[in-house]
């Protein structure tokens, strides 16, 4: 199957905020990520806060430039092509943000919010297209919502507007960055179903970003587990959850009751995720890993195919 998104050796290094920094203290938000998303598939990126998920999503959406590496969508290099090509490409990639409060312009009506990406993409105003997408996301009758402002909507309704805004331009790729994390738990499944339904109907490829591996499992074909800017495990969603191998993935699975086959307390991880800088040698997870051995401090465990189509970066395998 043809890939829509291809990411090769993607790096993003940030200067630490508020101090004079040497190269070695730069934060490695992404540190050599490779990814392929074929047409019509949803692949997930999971990991704790600070693992680099949003940085990856923002680069794919063209909002942040990488330090190094290549991102192509439908074979076109996002950061190294003519302006016209990049402009055309931007129409095809949309992003759904986590925060339905912060991501909608409070001075715009719903109609104007949804019209905006059409305008940016030089699509003529099309009332029917707007009413269709509002209906699709469950804001019915659409006429009741068109002239409302974001503050006149609930959190769930705002997120429906965000989803409508992303899909109205018929993108070929969508990045959904924690699309349900700010919604009540009771609403999450119906939102995930809605996103999956539109994705399937239109054959859109997607990256779903989540700190919750159960959400990734529910919606995606493949899961990438990201830790400090590196993919530490990758494979079919079923294999990554039910046959988790990396100690970090095991801990993520174990943190969700009734998910996967990890016994309670089988894996314990220490402390919190640290900021990744050049000073970390060997395995970046070693300070938190109960299985760490000598070579984990010196040798960087690369991602290896440990079982068919199941890749892990850990010296235990
Ligand atoms: N503009 C920036 N300047 C400096 N550092 C940044 C910037 N954006 C992100 N970072 C740092 O890069 C790392 C990865 O951040 P990112 O937002 O991608 O993580 P995340 O996995 O999305 O986390 P969360 O789950 O909290 O959203 C963090 O250490 C973060 O502080
Ligand atoms: S490489 Fe070593 S420290 Fe890293 S996860 Fe595997 S066992 Fe733990
Ligand atoms: Mg984020």
- CA-closest residue to ligand 1 atom 2: 14
Ligand 2 atom closest to the CA of 247, numbered from 1: 5
Quote the CA–CA distance of 313 and 230 in Å, as a whole number: 9
Ligand 3 centroid – CA 177 distance (Å)? 7
The model carries a pTM of 0.93
Q: What are phi and psi of 174, to 5 degrees?
A: -130, 135
Q: Is the CB of 225 under 6 A from ligand 1?
A: no
Looking at the CA of 17, name the nearest ligand: 1
Mutate to test the pocket of ligand 2, among 273, 301, 313 (most ligand atoms within 8 A of CB): 301
Q: Which pLDDT value is given to residue 107? A: 95
Ligand 1 atom closest to the CA of 58, numbered from 1: 18
Q: Report the 10 Å Cβ neighbour count for 21.
A: 14
- CA-closest residue to ligand 1 atom 24: 49
Task: Please state which CATH class domain 3-312 belongs to.
Answer: alpha beta
Ligand 2 centroid – CA 246 distance (Å)? 8
Q: Which pLDDT value is given to residue 21? A: 63
Looking at the CA of 16, name the nearest ligand: 1
Q: Which pLDDT value is given to residue 126? A: 81
- CA-closest residue to ligand 2 atom 1: 314
Q: Is the CB of 301 under 6 A from ligand 2?
A: yes
- CA-closest residue to ligand 2 atom 5: 314
Q: Which pLDDT value is given to residue 94? A: 93
Mutate to test the pocket of ligand 2, among 289, 300, 303 (most ligand atoms within 8 A of CB): 289
Looking at the CA of 226, name the nearest ligand: 1
Q: Is the CB of 284 under 6 A from ligand 2?
A: no
Ligand 1 atom closest to the CA of 276, numbered from 1: 29
Domain boundaries, the chain: 3-312
Print the SS3 string covering the chain: CCEEEEEEEEEEEECCCCCCCCHHHCEEEEEEEEEEEECCCEEEEECCCCCCHHHHHHHHCCCCCCCEEEEEECCEECCCCCHHHHHHHHHHEEEECCCCCCCCCCCCCHHHHHHHHHHHCCCCCCHHHHHHHHHHCCCCCCHHHHCCCHHHCCHHHHHHHHHHHHHCCCCCEEEEECCCCCCCHHHHHHHHHHHHHHHHHHCCEEEEEECCHHHHHHHCCEEEEEECCEEEEEEEHHHHHHCCCCHHHHHHHHCCCCCCCCCCCCCCCCCCCCCCCCCCCCCCCHHHCCCCCHHHHHCCCCCEEEECCEEECCCCC
Ligand 1 atom closest to the CA of 229, numbered from 1: 14
Q: Which pLDDT value is given to residue 280? A: 73
| Consecutive 10-residue averages of pLDDT for the chain (317 residues) | 91 82 80 96 96 96 95 93 88 87 90 89 81 94 95 92 93 94 87 93 96 95 97 98 96 87 78 65 92 95 97 98
Looking at the CA of 300, name the nearest ligand: 2
């Amino acid at each position: 199957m043809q890939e829509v998104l291809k990411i090769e050796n993607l790096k993003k290094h940030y200067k630490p905020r508020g101090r004079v920094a040497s190269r070695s203290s730069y934060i490695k938000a992404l540190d050599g990520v490779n990814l392929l998303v074929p047409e019509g598939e949803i692949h997930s990126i999971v990991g704790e806060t600070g693992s680099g998920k949003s940085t990856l999503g923002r680069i794919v959406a063209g909002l942040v430039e990488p330090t190094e590496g290549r991102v192509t969508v439908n074979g076109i290099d996002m950061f190294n092509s003519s302006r016209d090509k990049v402009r055309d490409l931007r129409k095809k990639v949309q992003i759904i943000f986590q925060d339905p409060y912060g991501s909608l312009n409070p001075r715009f009506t719903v109609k104007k919010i949804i019209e905006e990406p059409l305008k940016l993409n030089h699509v003529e105003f099309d009332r029917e297209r707007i009413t269709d997408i509002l209906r699709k996301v469950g804001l019915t009758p659409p006429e009741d919502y068109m002239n409302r402002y974001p503050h006149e909507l609930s959190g769930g309704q705002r997120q429906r507007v965000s989803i409508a805004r992303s899909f109205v331009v018929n993108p070929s790729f969508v990045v959904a960055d924690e699309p349900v994390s700010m919604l009540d738990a009771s609403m999450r499944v119906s939102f995930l179903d809605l996103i999956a339904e539109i994705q399937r109907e239109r054959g859109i490829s997607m990256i779903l970003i989540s700190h919750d591996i159960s959400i990734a499992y529910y919606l995606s074909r493949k899961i990438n587990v990201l830790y400090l800017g590196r993919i530490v495990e990758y494979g079919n969603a079923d294999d990554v959850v039910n046959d988790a191998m990396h100690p970090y993935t095991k801990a993520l699975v174990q943190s969700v009751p009734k998910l996967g086959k990890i016994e309670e307390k089988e894996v314990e991880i220490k402390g919190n995720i640290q900021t990744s800088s050049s000073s970390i040698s060997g395995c970046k997870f070693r300070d938190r890993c109960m299985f760490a051995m000598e070579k984990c401090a010196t040798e960087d465990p690369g991602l290896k195919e440990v079982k068919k189509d199941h890749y892990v970066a850990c010296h235990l395998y």
